[in-house]
Amino acid sequence: MKYAIIADGSILFQGNTLTLLLFVVIGGAISVGIALMIWRKMQENEIMKYEFITIIAHKFRTPLTQLKWLIEGLMETEQDTSSRENLGNMKQSTDRLINMTGTLIELTNADTENKASYQIESVPVCESTRTVTNSLKAAFQEKNISFSVQCLVEEVTINADRTRFEFVLQTLLENSFNYTPPGRQVQVSVDADARRAYVTVTDNGIGISVNDLPKIFGKFYRTQNAKSMDTEGFGVGLYFSQTIIRRFGGKIEVYSPGIDKGSTFRIVIPRK
Ligand code: ADP
C-alpha cells in the first residue's frame, strides 16, 4: 500500500506504510532522546530551563498521539501476520515515547506549581493506597515479586491533594518494583497514631548504601546499582514526592541496612 503524508501543504514522504511508520517512530525516538540528552546536559551545567523542556514535551505529545491512532487504525485492517507484529512493536515504542513525554510534562509542572494549585481535601489513606496498589498488582505478579498490602487502621484520613498523594504512592511502589529482583518481596502497610498517618513500603531489593541515603531525594540523583537495574529512570521521582509531601506538612523517611539488603520508605503525614 502506498501513502502520502502531507504536512503544511507539501508532500513529505511516499512509500510503504511500514517504512513510513518506522521512519516516524525512529524520528520521534531520536527527537525525544536528543531532548533528554540536552536536558541532562543542561542540568549538568546547572542552567536547566523548564520552559524549554515544557515546550518540547508539549510539542511532541500531539504528533505522537496521532501516530499512535494511525498505527492502531492500521492494526485493525492489516491481514499479514508479520506486518501486524511490526505494527504491534511500533505501537509499543510509540506508547513508551508518549509515557516519557508525559513524565517530562508532569515533572516540569510539579516543580513550578505552588500549593495554591493543590486541591486539598480529606483523603482516606487506605482507599488511596488500595487504588494505587490494585493497579500494580498484576505487574508485581508478572515479575514474580510477592506483594502484600495491609491496612492496620482503616479509617485514617489526611488533608491532601488526592492526585498528588497517589502520585507519591505510585512513585514509591514503582521504585520498589524496579529495584527489587524477581523472587523477592514488597510489603505495603498503612498505620496511624493519634496525630500522624504512616504509609510504609518495604522491599528486600537492591538496597541503598549509607553514602547514597542522604542524596537520593536530590534532583537527578541515581545510585550506581539502580542505573544498571533500571536504565530509564530520571532520578527525580523522590525529589518531587518529598516536595509534595512537605506541602501537606509531612515528610518521607528512608532506611536501608545497605546494598542488597532492601529498603524501607515511610510517608509520615499529619492526620486530619
Ligand atoms: P528513579 O527511580 O527514576 O531513578 P527516584 O527519584 O524515584 O528516581 O529515585 C532516586 C534513586 O533512589 C533511584 O535511582 C535509586 O538509586 C534510589 N532508590 C529509590 N527507591 C529505591 C528502592 N526501593 N530500592 C533501592 N534504591 C532506591
State the average pLDDT for the chain: 84
Q: Is the C-beta atom of 243 inside 6 A of ligand 1?
A: no
Quote the CA–CA distance of 264 and 254 in Å, as a whole number: 6
Q: What angle do CA 93, 143, 242 make, to 5 degrees?
A: 80
Domain covering 2-112 assigned CATH 3.90.1570 in the classification = no
Percent of the chain with pLDDT over 90: 51
With a 6 Å cutoff on the Cβ, whether 145 touches ligand 1 is no
Q: What is the pLDDT of residues 218-239, one digit of tens each?
A: 988 899 999 988 777 878 889 8
- Of 26-35, 219-228, 235-244, minimum mean pLDDT range: 26-35
Q: What local confidence, expressed as pLDDT, does residue 230 receive?
A: 76
Domain boundaries, the chain: 2-112, 116-270
Please report which confidence band the pLDDT of residue 1 belongs to, taking 50, 70 and 90 as the band edges: very low
pLDDT at 123: 97
* CA atoms of 254 and 265, how far apart (whole Å): 5
Average pLDDT over residues 29-44: 68
Closest-CA residue, ligand 1 atom 23, reads: 176
Q: How far is the CA of 61 from the centre of ligand 1 (A)?
A: 26
- 81 has pLDDT over 70: yes
Q: Whose CA is nearest to atom 19 of ligand 1?
A: 175
Site to probe by mutation for ligand 1, drawn from 238, 244, 245, 264 as the one with most ligand atoms within 8 Å of Cβ, is 238
Q: Which residue's CA is minimally distant from atom 12 of ligand 1?
A: 216
Q: What's the pLDDT score for residue 211?
A: 96
Q: Is 15 helix (H, G, I), strand (E, B) or coil?
A: strand
Measured in Å, residue 212 CA sits from the centre of ligand 1 at: 10
126 CB-contact burial (10 Å; exposed 0-12 / middle 13-18 / buried 19+): buried
7 pLDDT higher than 50: no
Whether ligand 1 lies within 6 angstroms of the CB of 205 is answered as: yes
pLDDT, tens digit, 9 for 90 and up, residues 50-80: 566 667 777 888 888 889 999 999 999 988 9
The domain 116-270 is placed in CATH, from the list 3.40.50.10320, 3.40.47.10, 3.40.50.300, 3.30.565.10, at 3.30.565.10
Q: What is the pLDDT confidence band of residue 249, given thresholds at 50, 70 and 90?
A: very high
The residue whose C-alpha atom lies closest to atom 8 belonging to ligand 1 is 235
Residue 15 is predicted with a pLDDT of 54
The stretch 17-26 carries a mean pLDDT of 70
Contacts of 157 (CB under 8 A, 6+ apart): 122, 123, 124, 125, 197, 271, 272
User: By alpha-carbon position, which residue is closest to atom 14 of ligand 1?
Assistant: 222
Give the residue carrying C-alpha cell 498488582.
137
